Structure 1
Amino acid sequence: MKIRRTLAASVAALAVAGAAVAAAPAAVAAPGTTSLASVLAADGDTFDRNWYDFDVLDQAVAAVLAAKPDSPVAVLADGTVPLTAFLPNDRAFQVLAYDLTHRWYHSEAKVLAAVAGVGVDTVEQVLLYHVVPGATIDSRTALASNGARLTTAQGGTITVTVWSRFFKLVQLRDQDRTDLDPFLVASKLDLNKGNLQIAHGISLVLRPADL
């Protein structure tokens, strides 16, 4: 009888242990290290007629790094560094070029030239203002962050305003108080998801100063 009781207790203990193992959550995969530079270059390195991808941004980053190889902008090519970037599409840069020159350019190459006219140092600061270092902020987190102030790699801050979680209406307030602030583009959220570097498309270029 003692042997039976011991055996029964052992079987019960094994059953409990087995249930605990089964209930344990699966190990979470470590985030990947694909860089955002890879995402920007995904559709090639030439301009096109699609105003809703990121050709101008890609070329602006390349122009800064060509002139200043040690620029902090290079962090976008280092996928081991966690960050969140807000990516203005080509249309956003077209609007910025118009604000700078009062001319509406009909090619992405001319838009880039107009933006580059402010000088490489200014372009560098604008690009860094779109990068939030040290944090991988996915869209779910952004939608729960109304009122949050994000410190950028440029040193300035961006304020998050969530107008509607259901419709994913999130606006980013920059340092230009007299112009429109961009919204996250719902179809371009969580770019490069699963990696330490994540990005969200935005409708206008963020401005670190009042233009």
Structure 2
Amino acid sequence: MKLSRRLALVASAAALSLAGTAAVAPSASATTTGTKSLAAVLTADKSGFDTNKYDYDIVTAAVLAVLGAKPKSAVGVLTKGDVAVTAFIPNDQAFRYLVHSLTGKWVSKEKDVFAAVAGLGIDTVETVLLYHVVPGATVTAKQALKLDGAKLTTAQGGTIKVKVTWHWWIPTITLRDKDTNAKNPVVNKVNINKGNKQIAHGIDRVLRPVDLPPLAAH
């Protein structure tokens, strides 16, 4: 199945596949009073597409593409620093994994990875981005460690489940999405924009709001 057809399933099926699921919505911390937005953090990197696979150039470009095409999109909450949100942001390598899982091909250059993602269509990209945002809550890494088993309601309307495991004294936070075939994202960077109402945690895979066909299981 072609790339555009595979994730096009996301936009049409997400609401149905997640209907009726109970969820937990943690409250925002009273100490997070700063109003710097996550959009300001993401766009502060002026280097654009580069060879650093662990930064966030592709997700930044995706956010800008959605807001450029749909200025009133709910993704715009990331520009409103006075509104509490927690976002899980995939690094550039995470999008490379996504494209590989959908096409069976590795794409090396970030601009080409983004082109493949953008080729899915703005509505699909918007849906996927919103599935990475938990509105109304500022969840720090310390708070997240207490959420083992919790289901967080996203701005897309679906949920992600938090799994916390410990190896001796070292914790790992894994996020379980709706794709039962794919590897679940692991948090690999925490407390981006800490001290502000909008906080983010980096993840190593892109969260998927629906269960995609088996070829997408990488």
TM range (shorter): 0.7 to 0.9
Q: Normalising by the residue count of structure 2, what TM-score does the alignment of the two structures yield? A: 0.81
1:161 aligned partner, one-letter code: K
Paired letter, 1:190: N
Aligned to 2:81: 79
Unmatched 5+ residue regions in structure 1? Answer: 1-27
* Structure-2 residue corresponding to 1:53: 55
How big is the shift at 1:164?
1.5
Shift of 1:66: 0.9
User: Percent of counterpart pairs with the same letter?
Assistant: 55
Question: Unaligned regions of 5+ residues in structure 2, if any?
Answer: 1-29, 213-218
Give the distance between the partners of 1:71 and 1:122, measured in 2 at CA: 12
**1:40 pairs with 27, 35, 42, which one?**
42
With structure 1 as the length reference, what TM-score do the two structures score?
0.83
Which residues in structure 2 correspond to 1:1-211 (within 5 Å)? 31-44=33-46, 46-164=48-166, 166-185=169-188, 188-211=189-212
Distance 2:114 2:32 in 1: 37
Q: Output the amino acid matched with 2:173.
A: V
What's the RMSD between the two structures over aligned residues? 1.3
Please give the per-residue CA displacement for 1:91-132, whole angstroms capped at 9, x wherever unaligned: 000001111222111110000011111111000000000000
Q: CA deviation at 1:38?
A: 1.0
Q: CA deviation at 1:168?
A: 2.5
Q: Which structure dedicates a bigger proportion of its chain to helix?
A: 1
Q: Which amino acid aligns with 1:89?
A: N
Count of residues in correspondence between the two structures: 182
Q: Is the 8 A contact 2:88 2:202 kept in 1?
A: yes
Preserved CA contact (<8 Å) 1:45 1:59? no
**Structure with larger RCO (C-alpha < 8 A, sep 6+):** 2
Assess if the C-alpha contact under 8 Å between 1:100 and 1:115 holds in 2. no
Q: Which residue of 2 aligns with 1:14?
A: none
CA contact (8 A) 1:101 1:114 kept: no
- Asked whether the equivalents of residues 67 and 75 of structure 2 are also in contact (C-alpha less than 8 Å), the reply is yes
